Each structure stands twice: as C-alpha cells, then as structure tokens.
Homo-oligomer: A and B are copies of this chain.
Amino acid sequence: MSDAVGCEMKFGVFLPPSAQNNPKEKLPVLYFLSGLTCTEANFTQKSGFQRYAAEHNLIVVNPDTSPRGLSIEGEDDSYDFGSGAGFYLDATEEKWKKNYRMYSYIVDELLSVVAANFAVDTSKQGITGHSMGGHGALTIALKNPGTFASVSAFAPISNPMECPWGVKAFTGYLGSDRSTWAKYDATHLVKEYNGPPLDVLVDQGDQDDFLKNGQLLPDNLLTASVGTKVKLQLRMQEGYDHSYFFISTFIGDHIQHHATHLNKKN
C-alpha cells in the first residue's frame, strides 16, 4: 500500500547473480520509468535488460506508470490520461490531487522502500525511462540534484508544455495556469539546473511517428542544455520507431552508460 498515491503499487526488481552469491554487498541501482499505457511488466518482458544488468552487476527497479483502480470518473477514458498515464507529477486539480502523485511516489517513497528492502548503494543511483518515462527520468533527476549519479532516456517527451500529450496531461492534472507547468518540463528545468555535472544519454529513433508528430521535441531539450551543467548526448538512430524493439536494441548501451557513471562514484 503506497502512502503517496493511496493504493497498492507494483514494481519489478531485478537482482543480478552476485546479489545471490553475496547478499550483503551493496550494489548500484538503476530505475526505469515506463511510458504511456505500460505497467511495470512491459520492460521486464520485452527489453531484454537482464543480460546487461547481470553483466554490469546492477539492481534494476521498474515501477508502474500510475495509480490503478481508484474509480475516479474519467480515469480509464483515454490512453494518455489517468490510468497508465501518471506523467510522474503531483496533480493539483481537485479530482486527481489525492492519488495522482507519481512524482512523490517515486522520489519520496519508492527510493526509500527499495533502499530499506534491498542491498542498494544509495550513493550510486541511476534513472532512465521511455517516452513519458523518459520525461519522468529527466525531470526527476533535474529536480533532485545529487540524487542520481547517472541519467539517460529513450525517446523522452522532452518539452511537454509544447506538445499535445503534455498540454492535455498538464491541463488535466495541474490546471490551465501554465506558470505551474514548467517545474515538470525538462526543457525548462535543464536551464535552471545547478547540481553536479550530468552526462545524459538520449536515444531517439528517426522513424518514430511521435517524433514526427511533435510529441517528443528532443531538439528543444538539446538547445536548452547548451551552456548548462548538463551535457546531453542526443543520438538519432536511423530507422527506429517508438517501440520496445528500439529499447531492446539500445538498452545495452544505456546500461553501459549507467554502469560507467555509477562506478566512477567511489
């Protein structure tokens, strides 16, 4: 039972073989935040991350994308709002503000629950995610300087205030006053970031329909990051779309990126 969102919340935890052999050794941990419509299961079943996490000796934690089964009117009406679409923010609109608090769930609750129950080295935490979850990974990392020593994203919603998915979600959860939106927008947050330097790896498929339809806007994030303490590497991957085949192709590179940065921190 989650205090932050007021319902049961599921998440996946992968422990590498060394955690069995030496259960007391504290290991680095990588959080993966999923995209619209996903539960915690998609990443576990489709990405093939396990091979790379085992190789690099990382614990991997993958939470669900929203509260579930609360019987809030409208909660299940669309794929991009409500169930499966929590957008990793704390809602302020009356109908949603009690439960749609995925930002607090991740930052204040999940990290503590994981640290209390598994042998994780909390000085070596990384975060990544896909699409809406890429937005979540970027904004959570940027809003909590020092918490995550490594950050990456797959096809993130990079500038939600300027794309249809973001405008719909932010209007619904935060209301129509746009001045409250910027604190959940990576392109705005990156300009204000003043924590430890971050190397952020972002992969984006160039045949991604959501890129073509202006939902992702990674160029805006890249432009905004210039001259900040965030060094963003944006790789356009030829021929790839928005699917888990894209994730499974590059998850090895991302885990390598996290392992390198987390193991630097000694």
A binding-site residues for B, Cβ under 8 Å: 45-46, 48, 50-51, 244-245, 248-249
Chain B: minimal CB distance from A43 (Å): 12
- The answer to whether B48 touches A48 (Cβ under 8 A) is yes
Chain B residues with Cβ below 8 Å from A249 are: 50-51
Chain B residues with Cβ below 8 Å from A51 are: 48, 248-249
Give which listed residue, B45, B244, B248, contacts A244 with CB less than 8 A: B45
Give which listed residue, B50, B244, B248, contacts A245 with CB less than 8 A: B50
Q: Binding site of A, secondary structure by majority: helix, strand, loop or mixed?
A: helix
Among A46, A48, A245, the most chain B Cβ lie within 10 Å of the Cβ of A48
A sample of 12 inter-chain contacts (CB < 8 A) reads: A45-B45, A45-B46, A45-B244, A46-B46, A48-B48, A48-B51, A48-B248, A50-B245, A50-B248, A50-B249, A51-B248, A51-B249
Residue of B nearest to A46 (CB): B45
Sorted nearest first, the 4 A-B pairs with minimum C-beta distance are A48-B48, A45-B46, A48-B248, A46-B46
Chain B residues with Cβ below 8 Å from A45 are: 45-46, 244
Chain B residues with Cβ below 8 Å from A245 are: 50
Compute how far the CA of A248 lies from the CA of B244 in the bound complex, rounded to whole angstroms. 15
Chain B residues with Cβ below 8 Å from A48 are: 48, 51, 248
Chain B residues with Cβ below 8 Å from A244 are: 45
Compute how far the CA of A249 lies from the CA of B54 in the bound complex, rounded to whole angstroms. 11
Compute how far the CA of A50 lies from the CA of B244 in the bound complex, rounded to whole angstroms. 12
Compute how far the CA of A45 lies from the CA of B245 in the bound complex, rounded to whole angstroms. 8
Chain B: minimal CB distance from A239 (Å): 9
Residue of B nearest to A47 (CB): B48
Chain B: minimal CB distance from A252 (Å): 9
Residue of B nearest to A20 (CB): B239
Chain B residues with Cβ below 8 Å from A46 are: 45-46
Chain B: minimal CB distance from A38 (Å): 13
Chain B: minimal CB distance from A182 (Å): 37
Compute how far the CA of A244 lies from the CA of B248 in the bound complex, rounded to whole angstroms. 15
Chain B: minimal CB distance from A37 (Å): 15
Compute how far the CA of A201 lies from the CA of B249 in the bound complex, rounded to whole angstroms. 27
